[in-house]
Copies of this chain bind each other. A is one copy, B any other.
Amino acid sequence: MATISPTPSAEALDLVSVLERLVALVRGLLPDGEMSLTAASTLRMLDRDGPHRISELAASQSVTQPAMTQLVTRLERDGHAERGGSAEDARVVLVGITPTGRDYLRRRREARALRLGELLDTLPATERARIVAAIPAFTLLAGLSQVTDGSRTR
């Protein structure tokens, strides 16, 4: 008996294709070599949502707890993050971003935005408008995924 696999919608397929290519675009926007994607994503989460536990950060990035322990150690070593204790549970470590970490994210984002701005300027006004108009919707979409990530186990 053949199993019937669900088929994704054409819209979702197109969107995935574009997003895959946009990932490559974003990666290419910086010479980088500075920080891994996972490290930067973790730092951004600390910047947006405040301090988190090691296990929460690990789940959000889909890496194991030991991997996140070492990633946080590297972030701490470079002055981008800092460990703190929890008043309620002595086992827990709360990781937060430092001013240095925020500065790093800001500079990185600005460098990318400058490069991306140049690309946007070469697009026809209509296309550029479509992209700008979709930013809030994509922000909403990105926010949805966060919930999903957090509930993931491994």
Label chain A's interface by main secondary structure: helix
Interface status of A35 (Cβ within 8 A of chain B): no
**CB-defined contacts of A69 to chain B, threshold 8 Å:** none
The residue on B at minimum CB distance from A154 is B31
Q: Give the shortest distance, in Å, between A104 (CB) and chain B (any CB).
A: 13
For this chain, the copies found in one complex come to 2
Instruction: Determine the interface band of chain A, counting residues with CB < 8 A from chain B.
Output: 35 or more
Q: How far is the CA of A24 from the CA of B23 in the complex (A)?
A: 9
Minimum distance in angstroms from A143 CB to a CB of chain B: 8
| B130 engages A16 (CB within 8 Å) | no
Contacts of A34 on B, CB cut-off 8 Å? none
Residues on A facing B (Cβ under 8 Å): 6-9, 11-29, 31-32, 37, 40-41, 44, 61-62, 109-110, 112-114, 116-117, 119-120, 122-123, 126-128, 130-142, 144-145, 148-149, 152
